[in-house]
């Protein structure tokens, strides 16, 4: 058991370790490990305007995608869960899974087709990019929420609230939202993680000035090894920060839920 865990962790962490080492090495060509110690690669990444811009764009896209997911996801999941007809429920589920099942390339092609037309010439704007990320990530949030609703037996709990006199708005605020807070937060963490690392779709949909960090990162691989490592570590740090922030909010939310409500 332990051996397997050890092997897996090595497999998982070794590349990350090498990245960190590489990002601090002076030069790295044809040797096991780089030689020399320097911080200049990080300075170069920070000084690079295209990387700086991409970093900000990524943050904007992730933030906007999370907010849009929050606004769309909860009502949508609720509607699917409560759809009276089994067939409707099934169809809605299949439909929401489509963006995951369909290759991103196909999705991207759709976006390119639609938004490079004369009627909707918005390809390259950050809004199209955000929309693309929402389409891609929404299914994950929906699945998480739907699974939790089913697990909680939300229908029965809501029936109980209704029999006690609570109308729809009241139930949604008092019962539905607090009951789903864990899955909502964990779903949004997943959304953020996917959005941060997303490459294929962003690469095809973004414009020159709205490239996200992973898209720009590809350029780094054609340059010095140290530079490539440093810029990748930045993305890694961003992803870890997002996950940690998400986890902390989740914990805070659940603590608050336990003491307050």
250 binds other proteins, rule: CB under 8 A: no
Identify which of residues 175 and 235 has a Cβ nearer to other proteins in the complex: 175
Identify which of residues 12 and 84 has a Cβ nearer to other proteins in the complex: 84
Among 87, 103, 165, 169, binds other proteins (CB under 8 A): 165
249 binds other proteins, rule: CB under 8 A: no
Of the candidates 124, 110, 122, which has an alpha carbon nearest to the alpha carbon of residue 57? 124
Which stretch, 41-49, 92-100, 155-163, 223-231, contacts other proteins (CB under 8 A)? 155-163
Q: Whole-angstrom Cα distance, residue 181 to residue 254?
A: 7
Which stretch, 157-165, 184-192, 211-219, 221-229, contacts other proteins (CB under 8 A)? 157-165
Quote the least distance from Cβ 256 to other proteins, whole Å. Answer: 10
x/- mask, other proteins, residues 32-71, rule CB under 8 A, reads ----------------------------------------
Q: SS in 3 state form for 84-131?
A: CCHHHHHHHHHHHHHHHHCCHHHHHHHHHHHHCCCCCCCCECHHHHHH
90 binds other proteins, rule: CB under 8 A: no
Quote the least distance from Cβ 74 to other proteins, whole Å. Answer: 16
Q: Whole-angstrom Cα distance, residue 260 to residue 25?
A: 51
Quote the least distance from Cβ 191 to other proteins, whole Å. Answer: 23
151 binds other proteins, rule: CB under 8 A: no
Q: Tell which phi-psi region holds residue 153, choosing left (phi > 0), alpha (psi between -120 and 50) or beta.
A: left
Residues 170-199 that bind other proteins (CB under 8 A): 170, 174-175, 178-179, 181
Please name the residue that has the structure tokens 């909010």: 249
Identify which of residues 135 and 253 has a Cβ nearer to other proteins in the complex: 253
Identify which of residues 103 and 165 has a Cβ nearer to other proteins in the complex: 165
CB 197 within 8 A of CB 214: yes
Cβ atoms within 10 Å of 138's Cβ, excluding its own: 22
Identify which of residues 40 and 181 has a Cβ nearer to other proteins in the complex: 181
Please give the residue ranges that form the binding site for other proteins (CB under 8 A). Answer: 152-153, 156-157, 159-167, 170, 174-175, 178-179, 181, 257-258, 261
């Amino acid at each position: 058991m332990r051996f397997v865990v050890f092997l897996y962790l090595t497999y998982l962490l070794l590349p990350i370790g090498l990245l960190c080492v590489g990002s601090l090495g002076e030069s790295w060509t044809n040797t096991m490990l780089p030689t020399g110690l320097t911080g200049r690669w990080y300075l170069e990444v920070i000084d690079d305007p295209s990387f700086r811009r991409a970093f900000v764009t990524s943050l904007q896209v992730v933030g906007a995608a999370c907010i849009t997911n929050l606004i769309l996801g909860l009502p949508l999941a609720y509607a699917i869960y409560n759809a009276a007809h089994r067939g409707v429920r099934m169809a809605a589920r299949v439909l929401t899974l489509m963006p995951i099942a369909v290759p991103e390339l196909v999705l991207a092609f759709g976006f390119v087709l639609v938004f490079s037309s004369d009627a909707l010439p918005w390809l390259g704007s950050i809004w199209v990019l955000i929309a693309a990320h929402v389409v891609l990530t929404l299914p994950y949030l929906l699945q998480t929420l739907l699974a939790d609703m089913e697990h909680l037996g939300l229908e029965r709990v809501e029936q109980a609230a209704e029999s006690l006199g609570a109308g729809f708005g009241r139930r949604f605020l008092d019962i539905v939202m607090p009951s789903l807070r864990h899955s909502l937060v964990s779903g949004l963490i997943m959304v953020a993680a996917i959005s941060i690392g997303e490459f294929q779709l962003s690469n095809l949909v973004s414009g020159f000035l709205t490239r996200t960090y992973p898209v720009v990162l590809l350029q780094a691989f054609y340059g010095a090894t140290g530079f490539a490592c440093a810029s990748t570590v930045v993305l890694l740090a961003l992803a870890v920060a997002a996950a940690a922030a998400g986890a902390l909010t989740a914990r805070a939310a659940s603590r608050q839920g336990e003491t307050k409500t």
